Chains A and B, each alone.
Chain A
Amino acid sequence: MTGDPGEEAQTQAVVSDQDVVRVRQLVRTAAVTAKLSLVDQTKVVTAASELARNTLVYGGGGSVQVRVVRQRRSGVRVELADDGPGIGDLELALTDGYTTGGGLGLGLSGARRLVDEFEIDTAPGRGTRISIVKWAR
């Protein structure tokens, strides 16, 4: 019961825009299970949507893992992975308004603001791994 890595990990491949919708639904279900408030649910689902679209558009597809984590508080962890080109200048990519894909440039930077924990591991040619956590208040 106290195992901190969490439970019920769900994996979703991201290869089409329908998969992004499925990721949103998975994260929503997990957020409800983790007893996040409505606003926090909305925030983490929105963040996951932004990041899953990045995985699809920039990473050329990948996979997303969603799980409920229980430590002192409960929360939702979303891990995204792709084997795409990776990000060269991470600091620049995390700047509001910076985009290479014709978007609004709010995906990465905005998603980071919406969650409590944000980790990114990327390098050119090595793909991108992002892990986010939103805790129940």
Chain B
Amino acid sequence: MDRVPVLKLGDVLLVSIQVDLADKTTVQLEEDLSERIVATGARGVIIDISALDIVDSFVGRMLATIAAISRVLDAETVVVGMRPAVAITLVELGLSLHGIQTALNVERALEVLSRARDDDWIPPLDTEDDTAPAAP
């Protein structure tokens, strides 16, 4: 059975689907990704589907599930590179992939993820300020 490779880039996992997905491969990817998110402590997942010439409801559901799982594991999922014909077909099929973030390409997806992290950013607690007396 084919297995889709999962690459780690810093705290982001990158999955580039290059084969016509059989259903078992799709399910396998779901499992692999959940494990890798926990094992690597990844904060973001990018799924590149630019090589897929169709996305049917099975693959659509996989994308939604991965997004939901990664959210539970505190990671953000971005689906990138959907082809126009695929997008038009998905709309017609009635699949709007609610709750899934999308980006045009991997570069944009990295921007989206880093923005999400900026929002999380908390200024370091400046303990000195608290303790130092307001010296005249």
Chain A residue with Cβ nearest B1? A18
Tell yes or no: A45 within 8 A of B by CB: yes
Complex CA gap A5/B106 in Å reads 46
B93 touches A110 (CB 8 A): yes
B94 touches A96 (CB 8 A): yes
Interface SS of chain A: helix, strand, loop or mixed?
A: helix
| Chain B residues within 8 Å of A39, by CB | 84-85, 88-89
A49 touches B54 (CB 8 A): yes
B56 touches A50 (CB 8 A): yes
* Residue among B20, B22, B86, B89 making CB contact with A114, cutoff 8 Å: B89
| Chain A residues within 8 Å of B55, by CB | 46
Tell yes or no: A42 within 8 A of B by CB: yes
* 0/1 interface trace, chain B 84-100, chain A, CB 8 Å (1 if under): 11101100111100000
Tell yes or no: B71 within 8 A of A by CB: no
Tell yes or no: A59 within 8 A of B by CB: no
Interface SS of chain B: helix, strand, loop or mixed?
A: helix
| Chain B residues within 8 Å of A77, by CB | none
Complex CA gap A121/B20 in Å reads 30
Query: With A46-B56, A103-B58, A106-B95 as given contacts, are A21 and B86 in contact (CB-CB < 8 Å)?
Result: no
Query: With A43-B92, A96-B94, A113-B92 as given contacts, are A20 and B23 in contact (CB-CB < 8 Å)?
Result: yes
Query: Residues of A at under 8 Å CB distance from B?
Result: 17-18, 20-21, 24-25, 28, 38-39, 41-43, 45-46, 49-50, 53, 96, 103-104, 106-107, 109-111, 113-114
| Chain B residues within 8 Å of A25, by CB | 20
| Chain A residues within 8 Å of B36, by CB | none
Chain A residue with Cβ nearest B64? A104
Query: Residues of B at under 8 Å CB distance from A?
Result: 20-24, 53-58, 60-61, 83-86, 88-89, 92-95
21 of the cross-chain contacts (CB-CB < 8 Å) are: A17-B23, A17-B24, A21-B20, A24-B20, A39-B88, A42-B83, A42-B86, A42-B88, A42-B89, A46-B55, A46-B89, A50-B56, A53-B23, A53-B56, A53-B58, A103-B57, A103-B58, A107-B57, A110-B94, A113-B92, A114-B93
Complex CA gap A113/B93 in Å reads 7
| Chain A residues within 8 Å of B93, by CB | 46, 50, 106, 110-111, 113-114
The 8 A-B residue pairs with the shortest CB-CB distance, nearest first, are A17-B23, A110-B93, A42-B85, A49-B56, A17-B22, A39-B85, A106-B57, A42-B89
B57 touches A110 (CB 8 A): yes
Chain B residue with Cβ nearest A25? B20
A109 touches B94 (CB 8 A): yes
